[in-house]
Amino acid sequence: MAGFYLHIPFCRQACYYCNFHFSTSLAYMDEMLQAMQMEMQWQAANWRSHHFETIYFGGGTPSLLSAKHLDALLQTIYRNYDIDAKAEITLEANPDDIDATKLQQWKNAGINRLSVGVQALFDDLLRVLHRSHDARQAIRSVQMAMDAGFENISIDLIYGIPGLTDICWADEVERMLSMHIPHLSCYALTIEPHTALDYQIRKHQFPQVDEEQVARQYLMLLDMMEAAGYEAYEISSFARPGFRARHNSLYWNGIPYLGIGPSAHSYQPPFRRWNIAHNMRYIQSIRQNQIPYEEECLTKRMQYNEYVMLRLRTLEGVDIQSIHALFGSCFANYFQQQVQPWMDMQYVVIKQSTRYVLSRTGRLFADRIAASLFIADEDLQTKL
């Protein structure tokens, strides 16, 4: 089992909160996609033994791709890789790119899941985030996708935005629920270094994110989604039964994945590699018959830390039996010792006798809890 990720590094404009790799110049799109097809062909020999169950077009803004570009990428994948006949094939789309023609092209190409970057449903908030669509477009685009026959749709929303009141946040969630969207990905506004929002905050042009607002709106979200019958199967991910994101679930469960394009990451245990995050250098390297990447071999300690970090975010939590099997009894004993204070505070609870799961309150401190369970280099000698 494996997942296939393609990073499409182009956007019409820069969102003020985004730190993903992209370019607002579309001048070299043809050259980029040709280079990505070449990388796919070269990588195929290393992935012969893998059966791919998901394909994910991320970015950037994959909805900028023409039908010709999308077909060429998919044909290259199917010619060179073992793709499941019922693969989940996701395309990230901005609302302002969605129209009847594109929706039909995506269906014809085999796209069976859309991830729509709505982010907010109030125009003033969309302007704060520097999104290229308005609230009316957002609602209309989702309805058009449903009318076109897309049943598997995910919506991105951001909470904790300064100016987003609790009443407005509840209204946004309710509007998505009223449309019977099967999957929502909801993220707290995070100020990433070197983004426009980071600059505005440092210049006192934009308020700091209020952590109390973030916590309050996340707990509101949990209540609303649970009442509507959605499972919070990962901290930021909510799905109706049968609509979990299969591709993202591969990441959280440590399943191998191949990333194609500039800045894309790949994982073949115990190796992780990542391509250069620079469009022209990527293209030039491919033209010189080289894939521009760096690579690291994850030690057992690093693999344990990653397992804890990712699994703790999920509804299933950390399985102590899996730690025993994957890493040994010393790692399992260390985990149980370190997690006990969080259990005493009821931030972590045990389910099904072997699974350590974040409680409702614990979800607010997921990163802090995970960090306390990590093993540092010095711990290998003193505590294991």
DSSP string covering 242-264, please?
A: T---HHHHHHHTT--EEEESTT-
Per-residue pLDDT of 270-322, as tens digits, reads 999 999 999 999 999 999 999 999 999 999 999 999 999 999 999 999 999 99
Picking from 17, 83, 91, 20, the residue whose alpha carbon sits closest to that of residue 57 is 91
Question: What confidence category does residue 24 fall into, taking pLDDT thresholds of 50, 70 and 90?
Answer: confident
Best CA proximity match to 235, nearest among 215, 212, 265: 215
User: What average pLDDT score do residues 217-226 get?
Assistant: 98
> Over the stretch 135-145, which tens digit does the pLDDT of each residue have?
999 999 999 99
Q: Which two tokens stand for residue 367?
A: 């990163």
* Alpha helix (H) residue ranges in the chain: 29-43, 67-80, 100-109, 123-129, 135-147, 166-178, 196-202, 211-227, 246-252, 279-287, 300-312, 320-327, 329-344, 366-373, 379-382
d(CA 128, CA 164): 11
Report the number of secondary-structure helices (H) and strands (E) in the chain.
15, 15
Rounded Cα distance between 258 and 83, Å, is: 13
What is the chain's mean pLDDT, rounded?
95
Taking residues 199-213, what's their average pLDDT?
92
What are the tokens at 34? Answer: 């040709």
* pLDDT for the residue 384: 61
Mean pLDDT along residues 214-225: 98
Please give the average per-residue pLDDT across 193-211, as a whole number. 90
Q: What is the mean pLDDT of residues 340-351?
A: 97
Range from 83-92, 131-140, 199-208, 365-374 carrying the lowest mean pLDDT: 199-208
Kindly give the interhelix angle for 320-327 and 300-312, rounded to the nearest 10 degrees. 160
Give the largest Cα separation in the chain, rounded: 62
Mean pLDDT confidence for 91-98 = 97
Rounded (10°) angle between helices 29-43 and 279-287: 50
**In the prediction, which pLDDT does 170 show?**
98
| Locus of tokens 């904790």 | 160
Percentage of the chain lying above the pLDDT 70 cut = 98
From CA 246, how far away is CA 87, in angstroms rounded? 9
Q: pLDDT band for 383, please (50, 70, 90 cuts).
A: low
Mean pLDDT of 51-56: 98
Residue 149 has pLDDT above 90, yes or no: yes
Closest CA to 256 of 48, 63, 12: 48
In what side-by-side order are the strands of the sheet with 153-159?
231-234, 237-239, 183-188, 153-159, 113-119, 82-93, 51-59, 2-8, 257-260, 265-268, 271-275, 293-297
Q: Are 83 and 294 in contact (CB under 8 A)?
A: no
User: pTM score, two decimals?
Assistant: 0.95
**Helix, strand, coil abundance in the chain, percent, nearest 5:** 45, 20, 30
